[in-house]
């Protein structure tokens, strides 16, 4: 079931065209990434999805067409700008946010879940960056939403806090919440997202799984090995994944697409050839992004 349908979305701020033509759909239960460099139009797009901005044109349908109060009940949003006053205590923030919903989650349990059980009475201003981020995730979830939009979830966090947050997001998804994750971190996108929309300059340049993007955009992967056994290049030439087989001294170099490693190793095994010193130069999501947009994403 599609929980979000965005079609031909367009949004201009005075002389700045922020979102030019964005379309994508999000399936129930997936972690859907919106990936792009700074200023690509990601935040504007998700603000339109959340009903916080009105698009100039195009349509957004969430959960079959909810809007207004119904939409707010079902959608949890964590935006980059949602800073709280320094003097609000953790429990007060949760209690306040819970009061906005007809059927809120048990925020005590949520607090434990985000690892802030012992910070109930701490002022927001006294929390570390990672703890503030965790609280903002708890606040996005306090209405027990079916869809959560999380914008730049781990920006500014150290690597450990970032990994902890990723684990938390996976648990939230396991509970059946559909998640839209705005990010410009490739590692985060690769690790968490089932599918991604790559956005550049207000346009969607591709929608696919991380591995699909990698194999689609970064067409050429390369394998190198030293064959042990009687090697005949024709065995590999015949594979649809293989584009080229070349020899360099005693080493073989194979370029190709798709599941090249599996295809080549399987074919070699059936031909009785052992690929010694096998090296794989795997394309990454960074390569895919570069191939799709012509630029490197800034971290
Ligand atoms: N309220 C606003 N008024 C005017 N221009 C805006 C406003 N918000 C965003 N913009 C501009 O619209 C473009 C898209 O911004 P947006 O915040 O949607 O991108 P983004 O991909 O989320 O970037 P970032 O990761 O830096 O937040 C940018 O050029 C930005 O400067």
DSSP 71-134: HHHHEEEE-TT-PPPTT-BHHHHHHHHHTT-SS---HHHHHHHTT-GGGTTSBGGGS-HHHHHH
CA 144 to centroid of ligand 1, rounded, Å: 29
Is 39 a pocket residue for ligand 1 (Cβ < 6 Å)?
yes
Residue of 11, 17, 41 with the most ligand 1 atoms within 8 Å of its CB, for mutation? 41
* Average pLDDT of the segment spanning 123-151: 92
Measured distance CA(274)–CA(279) in Å, rounded = 13
Say how many Å lie between the CA of residue 232 and the centre of ligand 1. 56
Atom 1 (ligand 1) nearest CA? 13
pLDDT beyond 70 at 140: yes
Interval between CA 45 and ligand 1 midpoint (Å): 10
Q: Is 35 near ligand 1, meaning CB less than 6 Å away? A: no
Mean pLDDT score, 242-257: 89
298 lines ligand 1 (CB under 6 A): no
93 lines ligand 1 (CB under 6 A): no
* Torsion (CA) 94, 99, 101, 104 in degrees, nearest 10: 50
Give me the chain's average pLDDT, please.
90
Q: How far is the CA of 49 from the centre of ligand 1 (A)?
A: 15
Within 13 Å of residue 21, how many CA atoms lie on the same side as its CB?
Answer: 2
Residue 213 CA neighbour count, 13 Å, CB half: 29
Average pLDDT estimate for 76-94: 86
Q: Ligand 1: which residue has its CA nearest to atom 5? A: 13
From the CB of residue 28, how many other CB atoms can be counted at a distance below 10 Å? 14
Q: Is the pLDDT of residue 129 over 90?
A: no
DSSP 3-state of 294? coil
Tokens of 52: 């916080």
C-alpha–C-alpha distance, residues 294 and 283, integer Å: 15
pLDDT at 111: 92
Can you tell me the distance from the alpha carbon of 88 to that of 119, in angstroms, rounded to the nearest whole number? 12
Q: Which residues contact 264 (CB under 8 A, 6 or more apart)?
A: 223, 236, 239, 241, 242, 254, 256, 275
Number of helices followed by number of strands (H, E) in the chain: 11, 13
Q: 0.90 exceeded by the pTM?
A: no
Looking at residue 58, its pLDDT comes to 96
Distance between Cα 205 and ligand 1 center (Å): 18
Res 258: pLDDT: 80
Q: Report percent pLDDT > 90 for the chain.
A: 63
Backbone φ/ψ region at 252: left (φ over 0), alpha (ψ -120 to 50), beta: beta
Q: Above 80 in pLDDT, residue 79?
A: no
The mean per-residue pLDDT over the stretch 234-249 comes to 91
143 lines ligand 1 (CB under 6 A): no
33 pLDDT more than 90: yes
Sign of the C-alpha dihedral computed for residues 68, 173, 157 and 100 taken in this order? positive
Judged against a pLDDT cut of 70, whether residue 226 lies above it is answered with yes
Q: Give mean pLDDT, residues 238-244.
A: 91
**Cβ(38) – ligand 1 distance below 6 Å:** yes
Q: Mean of the pLDDT values across residues 155-159? A: 81
> Which pLDDT score is estimated for 225?
96
Residue 64 C-alpha to ligand 1 middle, in angstroms?
28
- The least confident of 46-55, 158-167, 269-278 is 158-167
The dihedral formed by the CA atoms of 193, 285, 129 and 89, expressed in degrees to the nearest 10: -20
Evaluate if residue 211 carries a pLDDT over 80: yes
Per-residue pLDDT for 220 more than 60?
yes
Average pLDDT over residues 114-126: 93
Report the C-alpha gap between 12 and 40 in whole angstroms. Answer: 13
Mean per-residue pLDDT for 239-251? 91
pLDDT of 295:
77
> What is the CA(44)–ligand 1 centre distance, in A?
6
Which residues make Cβ contacts (< 8 Å) with residue 190, sequence separation at least 6? 210, 284, 285
Task: Tell me the C-alpha distance between 269 and 220, whole Å.
Answer: 23
* Residue 216 reports pLDDT greater than 80: no
Looking at residue 207, what is its pLDDT?
Answer: 95
Is 36 close to ligand 1, i.e. is its CB under 6 Å away? yes
Contact status, residue 246 vs residue 187, Cβ threshold 8 Å: no
Q: Stretch 19-25: mean pLDDT, rounded? A: 96
For atom 23 of ligand 1, the residue with the nearest CA is 39
Residue 130's nearest CA partner among 118, 116, 141, 117 is 116
Mean pLDDT over residues 112-123, rounded? 92
User: Which atom of ligand 1 is found nearest the CA of 19?
Assistant: 14
Using alpha carbons, list the distances in angstroms from residue 27 to 4, 63, 188, 221. Answer: 7, 10, 19, 30
Residue 89 confidence (pLDDT): 96
pLDDT digits (tens, 9 = 90+) for 164-204: 889 989 999 999 999 999 998 888 999 999 999 999 999 99
């Amino acid at each position: 079931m599609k929980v979000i349908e965005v079609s031909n979305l367009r949004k201009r701020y005075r002389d700045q065209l922020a979102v030019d033509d964005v379309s994508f759909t999000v399936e129930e239960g997936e972690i859907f990434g919106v990936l792009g460099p700074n200023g690509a139009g990601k935040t504007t797009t998700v603000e339109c999805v959340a009903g916080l901005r009105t698009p100039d044109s195009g349509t957004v349908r969430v959960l079959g067409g909810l809007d207004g109060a119904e939409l707010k009940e079902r959608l949890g949003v964590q935006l980059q700008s949602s800073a709280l006053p320094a003097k609000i205590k953790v429990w007060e923030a949760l209690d306040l946010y819970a009061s906005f919903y007809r059927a809120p989650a048990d925020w005590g349990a949520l607090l434990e879940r985000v690892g802030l059980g012992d910070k109930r009475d701490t002022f927001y201003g006294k929390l570390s960056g990672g703890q503030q981020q965790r609280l903002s995730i708890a606040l996005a979830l306090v209405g027990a939403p079916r869809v959560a939009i999380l914008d730049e979830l781990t920006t500014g966090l150290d690597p450990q806090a970032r990994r902890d947050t990723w684990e938390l997001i996976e648990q939230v998804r396991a509970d059946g919440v559909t998640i839209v994750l705005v990010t410009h971190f490739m590692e985060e996108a690769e690790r968490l997202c089932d599918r991604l929309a790559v956005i550049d300059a207000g346009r969607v340049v591709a929608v696919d799984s991380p591995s699909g993007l990698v194999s689609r955009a970064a067409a050429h992967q390369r394998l190198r090995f030293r064959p042990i056994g009687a090697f005949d290049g024709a065995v590999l030439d015949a594979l649809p994944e293989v584009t080229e087989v070349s020899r360099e001294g005693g080493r073989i170099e194979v370029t190709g697409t798709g599941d090249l490693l599996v295809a080549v190793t399987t074919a070699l095994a059936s031909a009785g050839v052992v690929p010694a010193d096998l090296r794989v130069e795997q394309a990454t999501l960074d390569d895919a992004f570069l191939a799709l947009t012509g630029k490197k994403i800034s971290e």
